[in-house]
Structure 1
Amino acid sequence: MTNTAQPPQQPEIPDVLSEKKLRYVDIGINLGDPIFRGVYHEKQAHDDDFHDVVQRAVEAGCEKMMVTGSDLKESEHAVQIAVENPGLCYATVGVHPCSAKQFDTHAGGPAALLSALEDLAIRAKASGHAVAFGEIGLDYDRLFLTPKEPQLKYFEAQLDLAVKVQLPLFLHSRAASEDFERLLGARLPELPKRGLVHSFTGTIEEMQRLVALGLDIGVNGCSMKSEDNLAVVKEIPLERLQIETDGPWCEIRPSHASAKFLAGAPPMPKAVKKEKWAKGLMVKGRNEPATIPLVAHVIAKVKGVPVEEVAEAAYNNSIRMFGLGSMENASS
């Protein structure tokens, strides 16, 4: 396990982040990725700046972060990050659809992997470190990673496990809406807190059907690449919206349709190529939770409402669904 000692009390934070900020929950951040340790393609490109990344997020108003679990190993890592960053980081536990073939290649077979996931989820839920079951779902865009049949089989198995553990869902759906909605619809009555479809890129009609099922919709930079994406975001009810960065991916790029709405957004620290990294700087192409105000800003512009309204609605929706250490959710 990578060393994640507590950050220094007075980290070097750029002045641009010192002004008063709104409060945010980043419901999808892959803090377990080696890139946040300065490791790119298994090579150390610069010093480990994990704590700078975390502290920048806090200074940007990001009060809570949900660290995504994508398989058993990464779920264990996400829980460990939550343990080492109490009150700030929380974990999800599950196997991503693109990794679902791991059930058939696991040393003890599918039953052993499901049992290990169940044990981890139960223990981490009891300690307050795991708040969702996921990232689970279906991805028919990347069948070369895991074919359709294993995806379907182990999505069902993990949905049953989520019902048993009674954690809200952290969901992934790509080009699979019919099967996705069919399998979900059968089990949602047994999951009172429902869940969230993260990094949503589907159609308005798909979004409306998911909302009708009682699910929330997660929006990040990848959710706002095109004009069609923006039309969907405009229609997401504020009471069903949550926001995320999905870092180190899904940044808002100049080529995206959303980029034109960034005028007037909070300034970000300077970003440089990884080879020129220095303490206090961001890395070009590596998205991080400090950029979550940009997501809220674009959503507000698209919807024509104050950013304060977007930020507060999303924050409250995340606390309502996932608890995240909130006292009113402590007994949920």
Structure 2
Amino acid sequence: MIDIGINLTNKRFDKDRAQVIAQAQEAGVTGMMVTGTNLAESQAAAELAAEYPDYLYATAGVHPHDAISVSESTWVSLRKLWALPHVKAVGECGLDYNRDFSPRPIQDNVFEQQLELAVELQLPVFMHERDARARFIDILKPYRDRLPAAVLHCFTGEVDDLKAYLDLDLHIGITGWICDERRGLHLQQAVKLIPDDRLMIETDSPYLLPRTLRPKPKSSRNLPQYLPHIAQAIADARGQRLAALIEQTAATSRRFFSL
């Protein structure tokens, strides 16, 4: 199984990153996509992926939270990363009108610039959206037919949101949010609507520790070794065998990222 979104360069992994990777391998995780969220994190993700060839891969881009930090030199440096064979997508990019860490017009502009670059370079896009569906679709739609592939990662929205994104031929990444009895129960119904060839799975660790893990971990840090637990929750919600879900999502991920 492939974890399409893990923040493995996060400081919460600094003390035991190699052990975390080894434990993920032991748990049956066969590949991981290390997420780049700004220039520095993208560079770190690419460097880490290079240390684990054919197991770790990276994305490179600018998260909406970091959009305000972008300058012309950012794009020059990111182009060098996108040229690397183990950097497989543009992103994490998109819009976040929930936290608004960057002004919305700047978020919009930086998202659009990354879509233009993804079209030029013919790379898939790895996207984030929070409380911005209408504007997100307005910006993405003119580019969609020219992009090789596009995934909305860590989908947590409602059924209407999902239908709108499936209508745009997006892939959908599902995390341990589906295990949250307070906020994620609606996902147990929504995931039934995702076609087999457009569903992918992820931890988004160290965030979003699945609340249904038993025994409950002492740490709130999510780990890639918990991906099988998330996969089981998704399989149960979809009425699928776990083995079938793992096989399908891994094949979809390999195809999407050209692994």
1:204 aligns with 2:159: yes
Q: Distance in 2 between matches of 1:303 and 1:161?
A: 36
TM-superposition CA deviations, 1:83-106 (whole Å, max 9, x none): 111111000000000110101xxx
- Matched to 2:173, the amino acid is G
TM-score w.r.t. the length of structure 2 is 0.94
Tell me how far apart the structure 2 counterparts of residues 179 and 237 of structure 1 sit (CA, whole Å).
25
1:179 maps to which of 135, 145, 152: 135
1:118/1:165 contact within 8 Å kept: no
| Matching residue of 1:53 | 20
Opposite residue 113 of structure 1, the aligned amino acid is: T
User: Which residue matches 1:317?
Assistant: 252
Q: Which amino acid letter does the alignment assign opposite residue 62 of structure 2?
A: V
Structure 2: runs of 5+ lacking an equivalent? none
Gaps of 5+ in 1: 1-23, 38-47, 104-109, 254-258, 273-283, 325-332
Determine which of 199, 204, 219 is the counterpart of 1:241.
199
CA distance in 1, matches of 2:225, 2:50: 21
Matched residue, 1:306: 241
2:116 is aligned to 160
Work out the CA distance in 1 between the residues paired with 2:143 and 2:207: 30
Counterparts of 1:145-156 in structure 2, within 5 Å, are 145-156=101-112
Moved over 6 A (4+): none
Cα offset, 1:304, TM superposition: 1.4
The residue type equivalent to 1:92 in the other structure is T
In 2, the alpha carbon distance for the partners of 1:135 and 1:168 equals 11
Of residues 288-297 and 226-235 in structure 1, the stretch that sits farther from structure 2 once superposed is: 226-235
Confirm or deny that 1:36 pairs with 2:13. yes
TM-score under structure 1 length normalisation = 0.74
Give the 3-state SS of the residue equivalent to 1:190 in structure 2. coil
2:148 aligned with 1:213: no
Q: 2:92 aligns with which of 113, 135, 147?
A: 135
1:1-332 map, 5 Å: 24-37=1-14, 48-103=15-70, 110-122=71-83, 124=84, 128-143=85-100, 145-192=101-148, 194-225=149-180, 226-253=184-211, 259=212, 271-272=217-218, 284-324=219-259
Greater C-alpha radius of gyration: 1
What count of residue pairs does the alignment treat as equivalent? 256
Q: Spell out, residue by residue over 1:251-281, the C-alpha distance to the aligned partner (whole angstroms, 9 max, x if none).
A: 111xxxxx3xx7xxxx88x944xxxxxxxxx
- Partners in 1 of 2:109 and 2:125 — Cα distance? 17
Q: Deviations over 1:189-239 (max 9, x none)?
A: 1112x1110000112122122122221100001245322222212322222
